[in-house]
């Protein structure tokens, strides 16, 4: 069983390392992985990978994790809190499950749950927000189950696959998170 900085039953979240970059690059070049994202419109360049590494390793307003299958120890994706405002105590959540074999196994849900607890209980955030492609129904359902509320829609915000998509803006507040967590206990 792989241990991480944040530990769940299915996944461990550990620091995203330079050794994870080849997998990250492969994920970005897989059309099934980037179907609902703005990335993937061109082959991933060395500079794209290096920019990601700099964000993961050096940016003080981001905390980036590798999502690791706790059973096999294999990195299957990445998630983190970005654009952290330490004064307003808010952050943006992003996740990418890059290994299609890891889809529909609850890895993303557990990573999200671990990261919400970390954001609210460790970083003392007041709100966590995200944007999700409106056609990504699985993602929208997952975020709603985790306690995120729809704040609005950015119309025709993402251009991908030859068309425009709306982006649903969602957030969860600390008290909503705690209230929802209490219901599950």
Whether residue 82 is contained in a domain is answered as yes
Whether residue 94 is contained in a domain is answered as yes
Please tell me the distance from the alpha carbon of residue 53 to that of residue 51, in angstroms, as a whole number.
5
pLDDT of 130:
98
pLDDT of 41:
86
Whether residue 102 is contained in a domain is answered as yes
Which strands make up the sheet holding 11-15, listed edge to edge?
6-7, 11-15, 63-69, 75-85, 90-97, 127-133, 163-173, 149-160
pLDDT of 182:
54
What is the domain count for the chain?
Answer: 1
pLDDT digits (tens, 9 = 90+) for 57-98: 999 999 999 999 999 999 999 999 999 999 999 999 999 999
**Side-chain-side CA neighbours of residue 61 (13 Å):** 11
Strands (DSSP E) contained in 70-176 are: 75-85, 90-97, 127-133, 149-160, 163-173
pLDDT of 4:
76
Query: Read out DSSP for 46-100?
Result: HHHHHHHHHHHHH-TT-EEEEEEETTT--EEEEEEEEEEETTTTEEEEEEEE--G
Tell which phi-psi region holds residue 73, choosing left (phi > 0), alpha (psi between -120 and 50) or beta: left
Please tell me the distance from the alpha carbon of residue 9 to that of residue 28, in angstroms, as a whole number.
27
Class of residue 142 by CB neighbours under 10 A (exposed 0-12, middle 13-18, buried 19+): middle
CATH number at residue 180: 3.40.630.30
Q: Decide if pLDDT at 174 tops 90.
A: yes
Percent pLDDT > 90 in the chain is 87
Task: Give the residue carrying structure tokens 């607890």.
Answer: 117
CB 97 within 8 A of CB 37: no
pLDDT digits (tens, 9 = 90+) for 151-164: 999 999 999 889 99
pLDDT of 184:
45
pLDDT digits (tens, 9 = 90+) for 13-38: 999 999 999 999 999 999 999 998 98
Please tell me the distance from the alpha carbon of residue 163 to that of residue 119, in angstroms, as a whole number.
34
Whether residue 1 is contained in a domain is answered as no
Q: Which domain holds residue 39?
A: 6-184
Whether residue 83 is contained in a domain is answered as yes
Q: What is the model's pTM? A: 0.92
Whether residue 118 is contained in a domain is answered as yes
Q: Which residues contact 96 (CB under 8 A, 6 or more apart)?
A: 27, 33, 37, 77, 78, 79
């Amino acid at each position: 069983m792989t241990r991480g900085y944040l530990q769940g039953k299915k996944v461990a979240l550990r620091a995203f390392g330079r050794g994870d970059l080849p997998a990250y690059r492969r994920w970005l070049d897989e059309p099934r992985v980037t179907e609902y994202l703005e990335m993937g419109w061109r082959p991933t360049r060395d500079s794209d990978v290096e920019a990601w590494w700099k964000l993961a390793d050096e940016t003080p307003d981001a905390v980036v994790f590798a999502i690791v299958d706790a059973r096999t120890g294999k990195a299957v994706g990445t998630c983190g809190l970005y654009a952290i405002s330490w004064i307003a105590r808010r952050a943006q959540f992003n996740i990418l499950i890059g290994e299609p074999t890891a889809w529909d196994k609850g890895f993303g849900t557990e990573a999200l749950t671990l990261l919400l607890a970390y954001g609210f209980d460790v970083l003392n955030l007041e709100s966590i927000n995200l944007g999700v492609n409106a056609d990504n129904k699985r993602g929208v359902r997952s975020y709603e189950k985790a306690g995120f509320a729809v704040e609005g829609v950015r119309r025709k915000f993402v251009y991908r696959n030859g068309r425009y998509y709306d982006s649903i803006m969602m957030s969860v507040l600390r008290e909503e998170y705690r209230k929802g967590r209490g219901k599950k206990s």
